[in-house]
Amino acid sequence: MTRLAVPKTYKLYIGGAFPRSESGRTYEIVAADGAFLANAAKASRKDARDAIVAARAAVAGWSGATAYNRGQVLYRIAELLEGRRAQFVAEIEEAEGVSRAVASAQVDESIDRWVWYAGWADKFAQVAGNANPVAGPYFNISVPEPTGVVAIIAPQDSSLLGLVSAIAPALVAGNSVVVVASERFPLSAISLAEVLATSDVPKGVVNVLTGSPAEIAPWLASHSDVNAIDLVGAGALDWISLEVDAADTLKRVLRPESGPDAAAPALGRITAFTETKTVWHTKSLL
């Protein structure tokens, strides 16, 4: 006698909780062969705003954590992802219609990318910062600090790797994130949220919205409490309008990318969401 499976309800991830969209809307996620996989929540403007509120509240704690601590938390994500490797491989195989080998490669690379970025947490400031030899009796130092709340339109052609490639670097410096997952492949994003929820990432540091990027992105781009927007996965949207919207509050903007190298790992992805703070202090006479 075969056992009847228990399917998962995929919801949003906001402020460490898994709410449904306040709008009550869902949309159907189908496999590559058209078979029904699940209903995903279709996030609304209110959901986006709730996510931004949660992200803002999380900035102080996450950016205030020591770099060593942030590195460990990010590494812990890799550990937990490794443990649930089979689940992600199966999910990607089904959703993207790729072979087990291809799906495995995507999961492996995602795990390794967390490890790579985890290692940067307590190093990037040494590379991006400076002691400045000013012409006077002053101690003068420049350090990179997190920009704040970063909105991300995740790469749309990938279930997990694109998502991880976009959110990991933003987290390294201490930003919190509101990410709009791939519209077609959102299920792994919510499964990743389950990993984040159990891996010491404080609530609100990562918030995951599923639904229509075309619908949600303009609200993120124009929201006053978002400091930066990564349009990496917005290539198919009217991203120039999004950039124009972002200019109203002088958000930092990263442009769309496409292809297999989209959001390739780079120190520049970390520093793109940092602000250089320069502190002068007088040196008195001895």
Partner 1 sequence: MSFLEYAPAPESRAILSLRDSYGLFIDGEFVDGRGTPFQTISPASEERIATISNANEADVADAVAAARRAYDNVWSRMSGRDRGKYLFRIARLVQERARELAVAESLDNGKPIKESRDVDVPLVAAWFFYYAGWADKLDHAGLGANPRSLGVAAQVIPWNFPLLMLAWKIAPALAAGNTVVLKPAETTPLTALIFAEILQQADLPAGVVNIITGAGDTGATLVAHDGVDKVAFTGSTAVGRAIAKQIAGTDKKATLELGGKAANIVFDDAPIDQAIEGIVNGIFFNQGHVCCAGSRLLVQENIHDEVVERLKLRLSTLRLGDPLDKNTDVGAINSKEQLERIRELSDVGVAEGADRWSAPCVIPENGFWYAPTIFTNVQTSSRIAREEIFGPVLSVLTFRTPAEAIAKANNTPYGLSAGIWSDKGSRILAVADQLRAGVIWANTFNRFDPASPFGGYKESGYGREGGRHGLAAYLAPSAVGRGAAQSSLAAPATAKPIETADAAPKRTRRAAQRRQTDSATKGTKR
Q: Which residues bind partner 1 (CB under 8 A)?
A: 116, 127-128, 130, 132-136, 138, 140, 142, 147-148, 169, 224, 227, 232, 235, 239-240, 243-244, 246-250, 252-259, 261-269, 271-272, 275-282
Determine how many CB atoms are found less than 10 A away from the CB of residue 1: 3
In angstroms, what is the minimal distance from the CB of 147 to partner 1? 8
In angstroms, what is the minimal distance from the CB of 48 to partner 1? 20
Shorter beta-carbon distance to partner 1: residue 44 or 169: 169
Cα–Cα distances in angstroms (integers) from residue 217 to residues 103, 232, 237, 239, in the given order: 28, 12, 9, 9
Q: Which one-letter DSSP state was computed for residue 108?
A: H
Residues 61-86 as b or e (16 or more Cβ within 10 Å = b): ebbebebeebbebbbbbbebbeebee
Shorter beta-carbon distance to partner 1: residue 6 or 250: 250
In angstroms, what is the minimal distance from the CB of 152 to partner 1? 12
Q: Are strands 149-153 and 228-230 parallel, antiparallel or unpaired?
A: parallel
Shorter beta-carbon distance to partner 1: residue 8 or 281: 281
Shorter beta-carbon distance to partner 1: residue 75 or 116: 116
> Do residues 156 and 212 make contact, with C-beta atoms less than 8 angstroms apart?
no
Q: Are strands 130-131 and 206-209 parallel, antiparallel or unpaired?
A: unpaired
Residue position matching structure tokens 């389950």: 194
In angstroms, what is the minimal distance from the CB of 223 to partner 1? 13
In angstroms, what is the minimal distance from the CB of 234 to partner 1? 9
Shorter beta-carbon distance to partner 1: residue 211 or 256: 256
In angstroms, what is the minimal distance from the CB of 240 to partner 1? 3
Shorter beta-carbon distance to partner 1: residue 64 or 83: 64
In angstroms, what is the minimal distance from the CB of 221 to partner 1? 11
In angstroms, what is the minimal distance from the CB of 5 to partner 1? 39
> Do residues 15 and 47 make contact, with C-beta atoms less than 8 angstroms apart?
no
Q: Measured between alpha carbons, how far apart are the two ends of the chain, in Å? A: 86
> Do residues 232 and 44 make contact, with C-beta atoms less than 8 angstroms apart?
no
Shorter beta-carbon distance to partner 1: residue 15 or 256: 256
Strand-pair partners of 40: 27
SS3 144: strand
Shorter beta-carbon distance to partner 1: residue 4 or 286: 286
Phi, psi dihedrals of residue 17, rounded to the nearest 5°: -115, 165
**Dihedral (CA of 131, 126, 202, 92) sign:** positive
